Amino acid sequence: MAFMQPDLSPVLVQIGPVAVRYYGLAYVVGIVAGIWLIRAVLPRSPLVIDAPAIDDVAVFAIVGVGGRLGQVLVYEPAYDLAHPAEIVQTWTGGMSFHGGLVPVVLAGLVFCRIRRLDPLAFGDLLVLVAPVGIGLGRLANVINGELWGRVTAVPWAVIVQRAGPEPRHPSQLYDALGEGALLFGLPWLLAVRAGSLRRPQRTCVGRPHGTRH
């Protein structure tokens, strides 16, 4: 027996031509929650920066989020290059993690350069909070009725109305659990419970001080 996945509207609220979509809201909530978490964990971090300055990270994150770029370059380059006006139409959908990763990393490096921060220590903080936005984005995929899984006979299969009558793996929920909850929990266990966040560049993205290349 398969569960029927509701066919929900991707738009939460629409006033005239302005629409608030769940996918876009996932980005906003992820960034706000990430900034809050960074400020909460900052006293345990060797990163030398005052808490109010962390709010500037949100500006760089918003500028850096370029998921649309990945959609253009990886998935539909021929179509988008033939219709360049549609490249900036992020409200029509077509976002990609591949396109968002590089701009966010570059924005983070610029932020560290301006604030004179250790990029690896700063990266440790970002790794701790990034799964919040990723997990919310996968839940938004459920609402959008996209990225459905393969046909299956497992008891927890779902029927995605846009994909046809066959029961499928709820791959969006798999991703939300793996890329969101699991990827969030394990680094926090290392950073907070094991105390490794107090030692620069030892948690997620760097190497311990004093080690060789």
pLDDT in tens, 28-65: 898 889 888 888 887 777 776 777 777 787 777 766 55
Write down which residue in 69, 90, 117 finishes a domain.
117
**156 confidence band (pLDDT: 50, 70, 90):** very high
CA separation (Å) from 80 to 20, 23, 73, 77, 152? 24, 21, 9, 5, 34
Nearest to 197 by CA among 49, 56, 43: 43
**176 and 123 share a domain?**
yes
Tell me the residue type at 143.
I
**178 and 113 share a domain?**
no
pTM: 0.76
Q: Which two tokens stand for residue 51?
A: 């808490």
pLDDT number for residue 195: 66
Range of the domain at 70: 50-117
Write down which residue in 76, 96, 117 finishes a domain.
117
**202 and 132 share a domain?**
yes
**159 and 66 share a domain?**
no
**102 confidence band (pLDDT: 50, 70, 90):** confident
What is the number of domains present in the chain? 2
**208 and 126 share a domain?**
yes
**95 and 177 share a domain?**
no
DSSP 3-state percent helix, strand, coil across the chain (nearest 5): 60, 10, 30
Q: In the predicted model, is pLDDT for residue 96 greater than 90?
A: no
